[in-house]
Amino acid sequence: MTRERMKVIKIVNELLSYFFMHHIIDVQIDVQYGKEHVSIAIVGQISKQPDDVEELYDVLNAERQVEYEDYYWSLLGEHRNYSELNLLGSLVDQGEVTYEDEHLTVKVYRARD
């Protein structure tokens, strides 16, 4: 399996961990692995918007740090805490976070190497 595909797996894992940490149910994940970019969407049901949604949005839209990417990628999954979301944010190019009708939707985009 390529390193790029392994990075996508780690990104999906971290997003799913976030959803499970917030007790979000009926989770659906969609991965579009294209030639030039990857988009990941994860949607789940939760009765109240999580308190840290704005922080999640900010983290996912931090500047991607390609020069540190392999190092950050290797750190993902080591510990279960919020600081890993900061690492996740450095691996994606853009993120969207919406809460509507008791559903949280997170979409991330990443240009392929």
Per-residue pLDDT tens over the stretch 9-30 = 989 988 998 999 999 999 999 9
The answer on pLDDT for 66 being more than 80 is: no
For residue 20, the enclosing domain spans 3-111
Alpha-carbon gap, residue 21 to 102, rounded angstroms:
17
The answer on pLDDT for 7 being more than 70 is: yes
Residues 6+ apart with CB under 8 A from 54: none
Give tens-digit pLDDT for 71-101.
555 555 555 544 567 777 778 999 999 999 9
Determine how β-strand 25-33 pairs with β-strand 37-45. antiparallel
Sheet hosting strand 25-33, strand order edge to edge: 25-33, 37-45, 103-111, 94-100
Output the domain CATH number for residue 82: 3.30.565
If one counts the domains in the chain, the total is 1
Tokens of 49: 């918007």
> Which H or E run includes 74?
helix 69-75
For residue 74, the model assigns a pLDDT of: 56
For residue 12, the model assigns a pLDDT of: 93
For residue 62, the model assigns a pLDDT of: 84
